[in-house]
Amino acid sequence: MKKTVLHEIGNYLHQIISHAEYLNSKNEVSLYADKIKVAAYKIDALLTDSTSEKTLITPTKTSNSLDFKQFENLHVLIVDDVIENIYIMENIFRTLSCKIISVQSGEEALKEFENGFIPDIVCMDMMMPGIDGFTTTKELKKLGSKAYFIAVSALKNQSHDTISIFDSWLPKPFTMEHINGALNGYTLKKKPILIKENFLLLDNIPKDTQNKIYFLAKNGAYSELKRLVLTLEDSTSKIFLEKALEKVDFTSIINSIIPS
């Protein structure tokens, strides 16, 4: 199947899941919304995970609460070729009182920056006609952008070079927990992050979970790894993994685990 067709199918799936998330908030239809969402997730997994090990992960709410006032009046640039995805992201940042500009191509994103819009946060779709999200982000940085870049993509197992250019990775379909995690990274970016060398994961993490972490880090599966870390109990190891992920430091994570 052509990549463009897969991309279009993926976008429709993400719209279905997002609409199901909304319906799920309405008690009288939540059961049917859950059924729609589960079916869409299964199709999405077949499309995006066909070459990787299946890891069933249920994200939980982060223990860290966000101070949403810090996002008031921030400038946000949303880049996505699908208008429905733009509407979803706009609604999220509108509730945070951000100043938003949305475009549907990498070329338009570069033009907005050159015309004087200096974003604090950029939500960048990875797969778009014309200039893709990775190239657009590189060009924005060459132009001097110091924004917090959030990649938005259903694609998993990206190369380290692709992942490392972004500050955070928001999977499609995403939940509010994923969004909170991405925004929490904006706060952490302002603080120095120190990672202890030769750290070993020993406390409160079962060996089978460590093996999953090792596998995901080896394959550069940033979004899946981030979701798995969210499910861990609070511990020194969890703090270490969160900090390593903020730096996209897969090497430290791999070295912290002795695979069985």
Burial class (CB in 10 A: 0-12, 13-18, 19+), 239: exposed
pLDDT score for 166: 87
CA nearest neighbour of 74 among 189, 223, 227: 189
Q: What would the two tokens of residue 201 be?
A: 């994961």
Write out 53-65 in H/E/C secondary structure.
CCCCCCCCCCCCC
Give the pLDDT score at 250: 82
Buried b (16+ CB within 10 A) or exposed e, 84-102: ebbebbbebbeebebebbb
| Contact between residue 120 and residue 148 where contact means Cβ atoms under 8 Å apart | yes
34-48, 78-92, 195-209, 224-238: least confidently modelled range = 34-48
Which of left, alpha, beta for 175 (phi over 0: left; psi -120 to 50: alpha)?
beta
Tens-digit pLDDT profile for residues 90-144: 888 888 889 999 999 999 999 999 999 999 999 999 888 899 999 999 999 999 9
Beta bridge pairs of residue 123: 78, 150
**Element containing residue 121 per DSSP (H, E):** strand 121-125
DSSP letter, residue 71: G
